[in-house]
Structure 1
Amino acid sequence: MRQLPRLVATDLDGTLLRSDRTLSARTAEVISRISAGGTQVVLVTGRPIRWLNQVYDQLAAPMPAICANGAVVYDPTTDQVLRADPLAPELLAEVVRRLRAEVPGVAFAVEVTDGRELWHESAYALSWDRSDPGLRAVESPEELVGTPAVKLLARAGAQDPDAFVKVVTGALAGLAEATHSSYSGLVEISAAGVTKAAGLAWYCAQHGLTAQDTVAFGDMPNDLPMLTWVGRAVAVANAHPAVLEIADEVTSDNDSDGVAAYLEALFGLDRAEGLDRAVGSGGAEPGPAA
């Protein structure tokens, strides 16, 4: 990529957001400035739609989002899903059947209604989403798999996430995509061919853009397809080893505003001027310097 990118794609948790899930004033200002300059910014995340307002509330304007690891393309200005690629009920049932046979104690949840609700088995361990108003406990295994789901979530107690993904991938044998975006032992499953790369490629095609027009930032294995597709792949310093291995470049970590620092250098932005604007407009205090 010799020219400036026409589109910036970024993961959220562990990449654009700090460890406390906040967006620094510096990062918000950089995104605002490059957007005002005509470069598209797209959020590409494993998060469902219902968790995006936590980020939009910290931005000057909402950005288009590719959610659920590529299964949902969302326009926040109209609150419309532009594209959804869910696991059909028959496929969902077969995936669940195979994993129950292969993984002792596995428990499931599904992202349904395009990710506006999460249905879960009683044995599925909820984490920071336990107060989510979109949660619903299912009454039976049949109910769990009776509705198209943009993502299936699987837990089986404490697990090494990389090892657990290999077990799940082996059990599914190409039937669906399996990945992870945390170190909690949670595996995320999508329909075959549904990845962050596929969702981003579809979005770019709608806007007359190609992979070579795009720079992307990420930190975890669910970012690998996107990072291998784009023209320039950038990992934050805190990224998973597999991401650091394939990245074209590495920026500073998410708690040091690594994405903002890279974009400031790439677009030739004056950081001091940007921070003066953010503080002068009543923005949050800037995060740590990179």
Structure 2
Amino acid sequence: MAPIRLVLLDVDGCLIAGEAKPWNFGVMEFIAQSNRRAREDPSQFAVTLCTGRQEPYVEAIMQAIDGHLPAIYENGGGLYFPAPYRFAVNPTFTPQMHESLVEIRHRLGRELVQRGLAQIQPGKEVSVTLYPARADIGFPQLAELASRALDGMLNGFSIHVSLTTVEILPPGIDKGAGAEWLAQETGIALADMAGIGDAPADLAYLRKCGASATTANAPDAVKRAVQYVSPYPDSLGTQDILQRWINRAAAR
């Protein structure tokens, strides 16, 4: 296995336990120390994010982990560059897709939000994230409601249901495509990247990376697909995985 140069880290389920859960500042500082070492020593790997979260949230976490390489936000819909400070929307996201997204958001607002069935997460530019507005609506049911509301107008957009969200993504955009774009921007080959993720949507980049791992809270489908499964959940699992890779690099 080639030495790891960059780790792609999912947020929910890997760095935090999920929406509205507290950050583990000790683990964030552990990651920040890894990034500081990587800036001084090219043989050490850096850590960045690969998440469905929106750019402002990603920027805040990147500051907390002292990240210096670009981070993937909105499931590959955009890249945040700490230095020089800038943002980029995925070049495959066309003006026509933007128009379709505006129409999708408007229809969901009318059919689901105004009827008290769903909430749309604010702050996203190239995708839509839905949450149930009632306790009796689960995520699979919410995805079905969204599918009915958007019948005939998806125009290639796709609906993805997870344990914690319903995501509506443009055609050709997912975390795997985001990882490929990141490789082009950084010059770091996917074979020299490692991925940490816990959800089925993360397999799109975990399968492309040279090394892959997941935390104890991941479903079996993800555990079967990666090279290492930490016995610890969430941020503690991520720290365990990173320490394992640090130890392996030191033993070379």
Identity %: 23
Larger mean Cα displacement after TM superposition, 154-163 or 222-231: 154-163
SS of the residue 2:3 aligns to: coil
CA distance in 2, matches of 1:22, 1:82: 26
Distance 1:17 1:263 in 2: 15
Corresponding residue for 1:179? 160
Contact 2:27 2:235 in 1 (8 A): no
- How far residue 95 of structure 1 moved from its aligned partner, in angstroms, is 4.5
Superposition deviation, residue 251 in structure 1: 1.3
Q: How does 1:137-286 map to 2 (within 5 A)?
A: 149-155=125-131, 157=134, 158-162=136-140, 165=143, 175-183=156-164, 186-255=165-234, 257-268=236-247
Q: Closer, same or farther in 2 for the Cα pair 1:207/1:63, shift >3 Å? A: closer
Q: Which has the larger radius of gyration?
A: 1
Q: Could you say which residue in structure 2 is the equivalent of 1:114?
A: none
Which residue identity is paired with 1:42?
T
Q: Could you state the TM-score of these two structures normalised by the residue count of structure 1?
A: 0.65
Q: Separation in 1 of the partners of 2:117 and 2:242?
A: 39
SS at structure 1 position matched to 2:12: helix
Aligned residue runs from structure 1 range 16-27, under 5 A: 16-18=15-17, 20-27=21-28
Q: Distance in 2 between matches of 1:205 and 1:22?
A: 31
Question: Is structure 2 residue 112 aligned with structure 1 residue 106?
Answer: yes
Equivalent residue of 1:12, what SS?
A: coil
Which whole-Å CA distance do the structure 2 matches of 1:48 and 1:99 have between them? 19
Deviation at 1:221, TM superposition (A): 2.9
RMSD: 3.6
Q: Provide the C-alpha distance between the structure 1 equivalents of 2:127 and 2:58, rounded to a whole number of angstroms.
A: 16
Q: CA deviation at 1:29?
A: 2.1
Once residues 210 and 167 of structure 2 are traced to their aligned partners in structure 1, the CA distance between those partners, rounded to angstroms, is: 26
Q: How far does residue 81 in structure 1 lie from its aligned partner after superposition?
A: 0.8
Find the aligned partners of 2:227 and 2:141 in 1 and give their Cα distance: 26
In structure 2, C-alpha distance between the alignment counterparts of 1:254 and 1:63, rounded to whole Å: 26
User: Number of aligned pairs?
Assistant: 234
Mean alpha-carbon deviation: is it higher for 242-251 or for 7-16?
A: 242-251
Change (3 A) 1:150 1:160: same
The superposition leaves residues 40-86 of structure 1 with CA deviations (integer Å, 9 ceiling, x where unpaired) of 32211111112135424533455531101110101133431133337
Tell me the residue number matched to 1:35. Answer: 38
* Stretch deviating more after TM superposition (64-73 or 9-18): 9-18
